[in-house]
Amino acid sequence: MSAHGGGTFASAGVRRSLLALAALAVVAVLVAFFWLPRVKPDFVQGGLWDAICRAAGVPRNWSAAVPRDDAQASRVASVFTSTLAAGGDVGHGGTLALRCTMCHGARGVSSSDVPNLAGQYAEVTYKQLTDYKNGQRRHALMQGLAAGLSEQDIRDLAAFYAQLPRPSPAGPPTEVPKLVSVGDPMRNIAPCATCHGGIDKKPGSPWLDGMSQAYLAAQMQQFAEGARRNDTLGAMRNIARQMRPEEVDAVARYYATRAIIGHEGAAPEPAR
Ligand code: HEC
Ligand code: HEC
């Protein structure tokens, strides 16, 4: 009798936990398929697996998501370095680049807050110019300039700038910000150096050393606010949203002081 009572009690408990588990699964499905895609329109863009992975690192201000009318992520979705490297005519690129020198410098290194192009990976220059041209990256001036470039012009410019020497590296840094070398797993921030060079180089990630501090910080801020949203799968937006202003300043200062502007000569690494 007591054994029977105990059995009923146990199976009721089991039934309760099974019900709770089922309810949890339903809630998870609702969140993943209905709520998240609504508050974050580009949520399912990268496929379900990406959606689930990104759900692991919920950005601080998710519901204040970027404007919906805006263009979705870049059309240059996956980067195809090898075909690009083969497609550019350096000579023609150099001729076209005469239109760019007044801002980006005679040899692709700018002493103002305009980004350096010298030694930039061809696939990066290609992608950014294409994104300006298609309106996926917003900047009135660069959009206007890129609109007049053909696909081949863009390849040629990318090839031309890729082979210009980068500014010389500065000495070893006194201090490497933690976010650069180890990231912050608690906030789902991968080390910058796993994509931007140092630990590893992921295709499409720009060479940052020697870019102006103001430019770098401004780009991070634009990613954080969603004003710049041409990064494939939100790779940079997801990181920048999690960063505190003083961290943005620290990493921008770090990369800006990694090279000496005015001392060009370091040969670009072979594109990967
Ligand atoms: C009048 C000044 C000006 C001229 C001329 C100009 N640019 Fe720019 N360029 C800028 C500024 C400013 C930015 C940063 C824009 C932003 O914040 O998105 C930029 C950004 C870029 C970027 C993105 C770099 C990166 O690291 O993301 C590329 C690539 C680029 N320009 C290529 C060119 C090329 C090629 C030309 C010539 C056809 C050119 N630019 C002419 C001012 C100029
Ligand atoms: C998962 C790889 C990845 C990680 C980690 C990463 N980035 Fe990026 N970053 C990218 C990619 C890819 C782009 C180019 C996005 C695009 O296509 O416009 C980019 C662009 C940028 C830009 C804009 C540069 C330019 O010239 O326009 C800055 C600044 C930047 N990242 C800084 C950082 C910093 C600082 C960190 C570490 C806190 C970091 N990134 C971590 C992949 C990464």
Centre of ligand 1 to C-alpha 65, Å, is 27
- Cβ distance 73 to 230 under 8 Å? yes
Pairing of strands 166-169, 259-266: antiparallel
What pLDDT is recorded for position 195? 97
The secondary structure of the chain, three-state, reads: CHHHHHHHHHHHHHHHHHHHHHHHHHHHHHHHHHHHHHHCCCCCCCCHHHHHHHHCCCCCCHHHCCCCCCCCCCCCCCCCHHHHHHHCCHHHHHHHHHHCHHHHCCCCCCCCCCCCCCCCCHHHHHHHHHHHHCCCCCCHHHHHHHHCCCHHHHHHHHHHHHCCCEEEECCCCCCCCHHHHCCEHHHCECCHHHCECCCCECCCCCCCCCCCHHHHHHHHHHHHHCCCCCCHHHHHHHHHCCCCHHHHHHHHHHHHCCEEEEEEEECCCCCC
Single-letter residue type at 242: Q
Measured by CA distance, the residue closest to atom 3 of ligand 1 is 103
Single-letter residue type at 237: R
Gap between the Cα atoms of 26 and 32, Å rounded: 10
Centre of ligand 1 to C-alpha 47, Å, is 32
Gap between the Cα atoms of 162 and 17, Å rounded: 60
Measured by CA distance, the residue closest to atom 6 of ligand 2 is 192
Ligand 1: residues whose CB is within 6 Å? 96, 99-100, 102-104, 114-115, 117, 125, 128-129, 139, 141-142, 145, 157, 206
pLDDT tens, the chain, 272 aa long: 444 444 455 567 667 777 777 776 666 655 555 555 455 444 434 344 344 334 433 333 333 333 433 444 565 654 454 455 557 999 999 999 999 999 999 999 998 999 999 999 999 999 999 999 999 999 999 999 999 999 999 999 999 999 999 999 998 878 999 999 999 999 999 999 999 999 999 999 999 999 999 999 999 999 999 999 999 999 999 999 999 999 999 999 999 999 998 877 755 655 44
In the block, residue with structure tokens 């150099």: 94
- Cβ distance 236 to 197 under 8 Å? no
The pTM assigned to this predicted structure is: 0.77
Count CB atoms within 10 A of the CB of residue 60.
10
Gap between the Cα atoms of 123 and 141, Å rounded: 21
What pLDDT is recorded for position 257? 95
Single-letter residue type at 111: S
What pLDDT is recorded for position 15? 75
- Cβ distance 117 to 111 under 8 Å? no
What pLDDT is recorded for position 127? 97
What pLDDT is recorded for position 21? 73
Structure tokens at 68: 């919906």
What pLDDT is recorded for position 85? 52
What pLDDT is recorded for position 225? 97
Measured by CA distance, the residue closest to atom 35 of ligand 2 is 251
What pLDDT is recorded for position 67? 40
Residue from 53, 195, 211 to probe ligand 2 pocket by mutation (most atoms less than 8 Å from CB)? 195
- Cβ distance 75 to 129 under 8 Å? no
Gap between the Cα atoms of 173 and 1, Å rounded: 77
